[in-house]
Amino acid sequence: MEPIILIVLLVIAFLLLSPIVLFSSVASLRRRIAALEQVLEQRQGHAASPASLPTPPTEETPRHPSRNGPTAFELFALWVKQDWLLKVGALLLIIAFGWLTTYAFMNNWIGPMGRIALGIGAGALFLLLGFWRTQKFIHQGGVFLVLGSTVILITLFAARTVYGFFTPTTALAVMFLSTAFVGLASVKYSNRALALGSLILASAAPLLTHSPEPNLVGLFTYLLIVILGTIWIAVIIRRHELTAAALIVIALYSIPVLGSRPADLPTLLLIAYVFAAAFFVTNTAGLLKLEKKEMLPDLLTAAGNGLFLLAWIMVAAPDEWKSLIIVGWMLIFVVGAFSIFTITHKREPLYVYVGVGIALLAGATAAELEGAALTIAYTLETGVIAALAFGLLKDLKLALRTCLLFVGPIALSLDSLTTYRWSTGIPYEDFFVLLTLGIVLLGLGTFLWSRAQATKTTDIVLPSGLLASAGSLYLYALLWLSLQATMLNATAVMTALAVYTIIGLITHLTGKANGQQGLKVYGGVVLGCVVARLLLIDVWSMELSGRIVTFFLVGALLISTAFVGRKKRSS
């Protein structure tokens, strides 16, 4: 009786679905006939009355402002609204299929092999139905295709977890075939949604094989096949955002592997190199053809590819080879960037790939150095990068933007500024950290400031001046700490304040004489800080003898300005 009940249920399902399919076909024919009738009526009306032809817009005709393309949210909302009844029905069918399978299992209607065969057969029928439907209604057919592949994946998952049927490799191969069918349909009909659905299903398949001891090399080899197939689809249908989605998939699979550090990590690193090379070649070829407004997915993929590669090298590569491997990949990225710039004169890819190269360079430096040496190396590298940015592209703004990389060395230098080692003498490692950072910041800022003044690039003057001021602050701090470490406190304070006063006077008077407001303000700020220090701190903390000498010295220097730079007034 139980097989009879199953047959009855299938017949009922067929009877329920047949009217729906028939009604859909009839409705489609009616819409097409109505459209043809409307076209015929319009043509007859135009032939009867030429005056009814649309007139071209005049100057008084309001024109709608041009809009950009729909946003991602609008596209998703449009996808949800289009044939939403079909999507809800597909979801209900998936739920009903799961319940029917569970009910059949509980009542032992058919044997385990029959149950699995029924599920795979149902999924295959949905795939065929979807492929046939896609020929006329691509959206509806896509829903059936994804539905069929999902049914097959769920059935094989149940076969593995409940009955132990198939091996993990066999189950994965069948799952891949069903998802590959969806991918081929996306190529045939040039459909982005189908391609993305195929990628998601193929990426989720390894999680459904219920493998007791997953073979990571086999898993990443399978993912490599999936990713290469996705890249091939992206190139054919010209949907480069699929490449970014593929990078996200492999990055998500890499996170637990890098965290656990398995024994076969060196082999996985070689596979990661293949992933990085595939993404790099695809992006490089794509950026040569794309317009500026279409570059965003490829630019994001390029940046993500660099971070993906750096993470794998830092975790999986041998310590003695890390820096050489990173430098090699850095050269590949930088050469690719300049090749694209030379051919297309597009700066966006250049900026992204050079940024990736800088990140790889920072990783190589961190792999080889630490402590003060690392800070000095980062400082020199950042200075060289800023100088090359201006020297190669003659772009002041770009050179100034690269100076944001000084955030790293500045953060690392805080330890050298505040360490207790200054209380026992001059710590030469910290001394050279502050000296290098001060000289590089001051020199680079002064150069950019002078170029901005010469080219009258007003929006660069203030930031470059602040950069030079930051360098001078490091040198002031270095002088203060060095004097405190080698002299008595009163003598050190008096000497430092005298030097600060001389520097403030020179810059203030130079700016005043040459009409350079920046130098004038800088010198005035330095002198104001010296006077504030004397009146608020030293007047209370220094002994009377030191206070007298310091105040006399600073006061005499300030009074001397009355006799500098003044012309004799004519009678």
Would you list the domain boundaries of the chain? 1-19+83-214, 491-562
Mean residue pLDDT of the chain comes to 78
Q: What is the mean pLDDT of residues 469-481?
A: 93
Question: Does residue 314 register a pLDDT over 60?
Answer: yes
Residue 415 is which amino acid? D
Confidence tier at 371 by pLDDT (50, 70, 90): confident
Mean pLDDT lowest for which of 141-150, 219-228, 327-336? 141-150
Asked whether the predicted pLDDT for residue 68 surpasses 60, the reply is no
Q: Could you please report the per-residue DSSP string of 255-279?
A: HHHHHH--TTHHHHHHHHHHHHHHH
* pLDDT for the residue numbered 55: 43
Cα 108 from Cα 5, distance rounded (Å): 12
pLDDT of residue 242: 86
Tens-place pLDDT, residues 101-136: 666 656 666 677 776 787 788 888 888 888 887 777
pLDDT band at 251 (very low <50, low <70, confident <90, very high): very high
Q: Is 318 helix (H, G, I), strand (E, B) or coil?
A: coil
Give the highest mean pLDDT range of 248-257, 322-331, 538-547.
248-257
Query: With bands split at pLDDT 50, 70 and 90, how would you rate the model's confidence at 291?
Result: low
Most confident of 57-66, 295-304, 366-375, 529-538: 366-375
Quickly count: other Cβ atoms within 10 Å of residue 81's Cβ. 9
Q: Look at the alpha carbons of 280, 281, 283, 284 in this order and tell me if their dihedral is positive or negative.
A: positive
Work out the average pLDDT over 528-557: 77
Give phi and psi for 313, each to the nearest 5: -65, -45
Q: Which residues contact 143 (CB under 8 A, 6 or more apart)?
A: 83, 86, 87, 90, 130
Model confidence at 2, pLDDT cuts 50, 70, 90, reads very low
Identify the DSSP state of 56.
P
Give the dihedral sign, CA 435/437/440/444.
negative
Helix (H) or strand (E) holding 30: helix 2-48
